[in-house]
Amino acid sequence: MKIIPAKTPGIVKTLLPNFVWNVNTEDKTLYLTFDDGPTPEITPWVLEQLKAYNAKATFFCIGKNIESHSEIFQNVLEEGHVVANHTYDHLKGWKVKTTIYVNNIELCDSVMTFQIQNSKSQGLSTDTLKLFRPPYGKLKTKQSKTLQKLGYKIILWDVLSYDWDKSVSEQQCYNNVISAANSGSIIVFHDSVKASRNLQYTLPKVLEYYCEKGFQFKALTKHNLA
């Protein structure tokens, strides 16, 4: 059941200014993000949908899934998307000590670094590994301060699709996005089996809807987050 609104309230962004909630731009640009992959049942499909609209996205990957599905991770890189950190095994920050949490994140970084260094794609760097999204959007203050001192940008969101919530219908998932997203919005989807029903309905429609309105879909980078 939905508790957090699909559109992040402005007051929340004001109270937590050290997190990235959206990109400050007036350009007709949206930032799609996908959490929890790579997942063989759904990530290749996501890549196909994005390619059909010349859309780029940011994939917040779980280190364990990268190790299990390295070919799919390589496909994400080869398609020109940005990869980012979502912990090694979807660790909930509220339940562990800061040292354990940071070590888990750094382990995910090492897994991604290894894959990038062994990628056939040209011009890739490990700069994007400093983008981090906490699982469940939750972490302790000490954890966030430690990560920021280590150079991480903590990426949250402007719009939640609620694609993972089975109590949310496909149409409601779609409405959550198009009723809330505007220039600079960071939108959360999940390339996971749990989210696949709503994602497969919503993503193509969102891409079509905003492309018809003249929007572009870009990945998060140091350039647009500066």
* Catalytic positions: 35, 190
3-state helix/strand/coil string of 19-75: CECECCCCCCEEEEEEECCCCCCCHHHHHHHHHHCCCCCEEEECHHHHHHCHHHHHH
| Pairwise CA distance, residues 165 & 198, whole Å | 9
**Residue reference for tokens 């972490």:** 139
Taking residue 191's Cβ as centre, other Cβ atoms within 10 Å add up to 30
| Pairwise CA distance, residues 172 & 194, whole Å | 16
What single-letter DSSP state applies at residue 191? -
- Beta carbons of 51 and 79 less than 8 angstroms apart: yes
